[in-house]
């Protein structure tokens, strides 16, 4: 956090997360190489190097699809929230798998080129006016570049130079990278493949990703509309007490688009900004651990009553005043300065 930088601050959850991800990748590659020859390109002879390229290529595509599905899934069903922890580790693994795919491609197709293999890759086909022979490699290079940028900037060190809003905007490039990856796979398929497996794979994941984002967006839009309709003077009727599970939070919108997080814990209610001071993670999707709000992205913690990270850390977030009336939670939409103490609302006295 704010005390020092270390390459990776390991904990048991990270070990389990990474081991499961690595095991899944290895299992997928092994199964692909074992069963793909009997299922892919039945009308053509596909050699082992090409199968190996496709194994790592399809693995990278599936991993990236899963990463982009985690966010909307967590908003639709809180049972998916644990997947948000250390999601950037999964992103770094995806870059490693994609880089392995690219390395195998270059070593197989350009190793005997009279010119430098990377020069040959960029100059072998530059006719962008054709359709069937479109240089699909450009899409793959762009996607790999995006994954590289996001993997490099995933470490906390970059927050010393990037503000959280800029970092978040930078990482939205992942959607452009994903669209480019879809184009890379589909245009590559048009170069002569005959089996339908790859386009079907792309269609299933792409459509699933789109539908999940639309469903999550519709859910949040409906909630925002219902909440803003309850505004009354300086206090806003923001939620029902029964909407918040004990030791958990609830993300609620304010007029103007700002979102706050309301937490129920130890018979009390507190409200803070929803944006983590680390990388703008959604605090309201986290929970209370050891008496502190714990961000679901990277585990940053804050005391709910004053929005301050426990010593020796120094991060601070804004707090909000709450009222509880007949099971209805009301909030003063004016934020207090980050780190301001606000007495929690005692549930037992009012509910």
CATH superfamily membership of 235-350 = Rieske [2Fe-2S] iron-sulphur domain (2.102.10.10)
Q: Where residue 305 falls among pLDDT bands split at 50, 70, 90?
A: very high
Average pLDDT over residues 307-329: 91
- Tell me the pLDDT tens digit for each residue of 98-146: 999 999 999 888 877 788 888 878 787 778 787 777 888 899 999 999 9
**Domain spans of the chain?**
12-221, 235-350
- Tell me the pLDDT tens digit for each residue of 216-257: 888 777 665 655 555 455 788 888 898 898 999 998 888 777
Which of 25-29, 40-44, 308-312 is modeled with the greatest confidence? 25-29
Q: What is the pLDDT of residue 8?
A: 55
Which of 161-165, 186-190, 314-318 is modeled with the greatest confidence? 314-318
In three-state form (DSSP H/G/I as H, E/B as E, the rest C), the secondary structure along the chain is: CCCCCCCCCCCHHHHHHHHHHHHHHHHHHHHHHHHHHHHCCCCCCCCHHHHHHHHHHHHHHHHHHHHHHHHHHHHHCHHHHHHHCCHHHHHHHHHHHHHHHHHHHHHHHCCCCCCCHHHHHHHCCCCCCCCCCCCCHHHHHHHHHHHHHHHHCCCHHHHHCCCHHHHHHHHCHHHHHHHHHHHHHHHHHCCCCCCCHHHHHHHHHHHHHHHHHHHHHHHHHHHHHHHHCCEECCEEEEEEHHHCCCCEEEEEECCCCCEEEEEEECCEEEEEECECCCCCCEHHHCEEECCEEECCCCCCEECCCCCECCCCCCCECCEECEEEECCEEEECCCCCCCCCCCCCEEHHHHC
Q: What is the pLDDT of residue 351?
A: 47
Average pLDDT over residues 52-73: 93
Q: Is the pLDDT of residue 194 over 70?
A: no
Least confident of 127-136, 236-245, 281-290, 318-327: 127-136
Least confident of 43-47, 161-165, 175-179, 341-345: 43-47
- Tell me the pLDDT tens digit for each residue of 3-27: 554 555 666 777 888 899 999 999 9
């Amino acid at each position: 956090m704010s005390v020092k930088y270390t390459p990776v601050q390991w904990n048991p959850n990270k070990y389990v997360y990474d081991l499961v991800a690595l095991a899944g990748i290895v299992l997928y590659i092994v199964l692909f190489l074992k069963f793909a020859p009997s299922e892919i390109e039945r009308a053509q002879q596909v050699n082992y190097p090409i199968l190996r390229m496709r194994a790592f290529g399809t693995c990278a595509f599936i991993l990236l699809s899963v990463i982009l599905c985690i966010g909307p899934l967590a908003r639709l069903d809180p049972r998916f929230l644990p997947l948000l922890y250390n999601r950037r580790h999964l992103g770094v693994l995806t870059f490693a798998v994609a880089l392995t795919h690219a390395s195998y491609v270059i070593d197989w197709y350009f190793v005997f080129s009279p010119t430098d293999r990377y020069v040959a890759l960029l100059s072998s086909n530059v006719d962008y006016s054709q359709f069937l022979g479109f240089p699909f490699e450009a899409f793959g290079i762009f996607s790999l570049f995006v994954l590289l940028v996001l993997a490099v900037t995933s470490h906390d060190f970059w927050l010393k130079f990037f503000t959280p809003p800029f970092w978040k905007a930078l990482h939205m490039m992942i959607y452009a990278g994903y669209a480019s990856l879809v184009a890379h796979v589909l245009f590559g398929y048009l170069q002569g493949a005959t089996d339908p497996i790859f386009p079907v794979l792309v269609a299933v994941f792409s459509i699933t990703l789109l539908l999940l984002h639309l469903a999550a967006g519709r859910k949040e839009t409906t909630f925002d509309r219902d909440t803003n309709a309850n505004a009354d003077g300086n206090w806003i009727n923001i939620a029902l007490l029964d909407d918040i599970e004990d030791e958990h939070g609830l993300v609620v919108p304010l007029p103007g688009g700002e979102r706050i997080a309301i937490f129920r814990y130890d018979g009390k209610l507190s409200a803070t900004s929803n944006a983590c001071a680390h990388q703008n993670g959604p605090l309201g999707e986290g929970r209370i651990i050891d008496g502190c709000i714990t961000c679901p992205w990277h585990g940053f913690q804050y005391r709910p009553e004053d929005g301050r990270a426990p010593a020796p850390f120094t991060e601070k977030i804004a707090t909000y005043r709450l009222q509880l009336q007949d099971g209805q939670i009301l909030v003063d939409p004016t934020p207090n300065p980050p780190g301001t103490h606000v007495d929690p609302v005692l549930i037992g006295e009012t509910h």
